[in-house]
Homo-oligomer: A and B are copies of this chain.
């Protein structure tokens, strides 16, 4: 697919290289993270994210929508996952006092304990897989680049994360 005559603006060599490299990371990092958290703590990397986000919140609770935004997930995905986490007793759902259509999700003591147990291993993995070998400058570059892409995603109008 390099030599196809086309009116669309094709990728030049450097762009292609960057894109392939990013896709590689995209496709490999997710599974690698999942694998570690799964093995050591019996949960998905996404499960971990949910617990971690809640733990950072005063009151350790958030409305589903708000939480979905913070963990970069569709409401549907979050709903399924929270149902599972609730079944394990790590999280609890309750109607919001302020609006009857809002459901709040609260991190339970058990959930917090599980998170505290999982955290060191996870952070270690993040360090080993992502941060190691990157200079301070590169860490900052990564932040800037990721922020730009995030911006692109939000501007795109491309339906992302549910309806």
Q: Which residue of B lies closest to A149 (CB)?
A: B25
For this chain, the copies found in one complex come to 2
A26/B29 contact (C-beta < 8 A), A1-B56, A14-B140, A124-B8 known: yes
The 8 Å CB contact of A146, one of B1, B21, B139, B148, is: B21
Q: By the criterion CB–CB under 8 Å, are A19 and B126 in contact? A: yes
Pair A160/B24 contact, Cβ less than 8 Å = no
Number of interface residues, chain A, beta carbon within 8 A: 75
Q: Which residues of B contact A35 (CB under 8 A)?
A: 158-160
- The chain B residue with its CB closest to the CB of A27 is B72
Given contacts A52-B1, A72-B28, A115-B1, contact A145 B149 (CB under 8 A): no
Task: Please report whether the interface of chain A is mostly helix, strand, loop or mixed according to DSSP.
Answer: helix
Given contacts A18-B139, A30-B26, A156-B32, contact A4 B72 (CB under 8 A): no
Give the contacting residue for A21; candidates B49, B129, B150, B158; CB below 8 A. Answer: B150
Cβ contacts under 8 Å, A133 to chain B: 148, 151-152
Closest to A17 in B: B143
The reply to whether the CB of A36 lies closer than 8 angstroms to some CB of chain B is yes
A144-B139 contact in complex given A49-B23, A158-B35, C-beta closer than 8 Å: no
Q: List 8 A-B contacts (CB under 8 A).
A: A9-B124, A11-B123, A11-B127, A14-B143, A15-B139, A28-B161, A138-B145, A145-B145
9 A-B pairs besides A11-B126, A22-B130 with CB distance below 8 A are A1-B55, A8-B124, A11-B127, A14-B136, A28-B72, A28-B150, A28-B153, A31-B161, A134-B148
